[in-house]
Amino acid sequence: DIVMTQTPLSLSVTPGQPASISCKSSQSLLHSDGKTYLYWYLQKPGQPPQLLMYEVSNRLSGVPDRFSGSGSGTDFTLKISRVEAEDVGVYYCMQSIKLPLYTFGQGTKLEIK
Amino acid sequence: QVQLVESGGGLVKPGGSLRLSCAASGFTFSDYYMYWIRQAPGKGLEWVSYISISSGYTDYANSVKGRFTISRDNAKNSLYLQMNSLRPEDTAVYYCARSLRKYRDDGFDIWGQGTMVTVSS
């Protein structure tokens, strides 16, 4: 199985400041079709997860442009350029290269200072 | 609007069975792969199962293989998860989710609110 490792596991950020979450996979997520199947989700308190980014850096419609994704191979990063209060929750990365088995990272809890 | 609504959760004894349902609306259900994902209390996310558009392909996490069965009824816009031989470690919120894009096995973009399953004596 592909293991997804996120760091840090928790993050406390002042509003308006940037935040960055790392996600490393135990195998390359680059598919033979040339795409990299890495997703980012945010689970706000008391809610189901919501998809933020797909294929590393594609924002889902409606996701603010302060969110950006980058990386390749086994190393990926989600960045928030200016954190807002509504960004609190747990962020998960997920891989789907080795279908049908999807695996998630452990989650990174973002809180506001 | 696009919506998934789960039902069927509850308290069940170890070794018991439950059948979860997921009602879809606001989109053409038969165009999308569908999934079950679960989250144990205070824990992270675990993919459980998937089913292809016409039910021709299914698969399961090793932790539930042989005990859980996923199915769908495209005429009723519904997804199901039959859970047998339940164990305490199956205790979780169970979410149904839709594939991001039509006609392909993909990330999950629409999630239901979840239904809680508690396995305890």
- Looking up tokens 């199915």, which residue turns up? B71
What SS3 class is residue A102?
coil
Whole-angstrom distance, CA of residue B40 vs CA of residue B90: 8
> What residues of chain A lie within 8 A of the CB of B114, using their CB?
48
Q: Which has the closest alpha carbon to A2: A74, A80, A77?
A: A74
Note down pLDDT in tens along chain B; length 121 residues: 999 999 999 999 999 999 999 999 999 999 999 999 999 999 999 999 999 999 889 999 999 999 999 999 999 999 999 999 999 999 999 999 999 999 988 889 999 999 999 999 9
Q: What is the DSSP letter of B66?
A: T
Q: What is the DSSP letter of A83?
A: -
> What residues of chain A lie within 8 A of the CB of B44, using their CB?
92, 104-107
Amino acid at B11: L
Contact A89/B at CB under 8 A: no
Whole-angstrom distance, CA of residue B80 vs CA of residue B110: 16
Q: Which has the closest alpha carbon to B72: B51, B49, B101, B98?
A: B51
pLDDT for res A69: 98
| Residue A90, φ and ψ in degrees, nearest 5 | -110, 130
Q: Measure CB to CB from residue B44 to each of A99, A100, A106 and give the nearest one.
A: A106
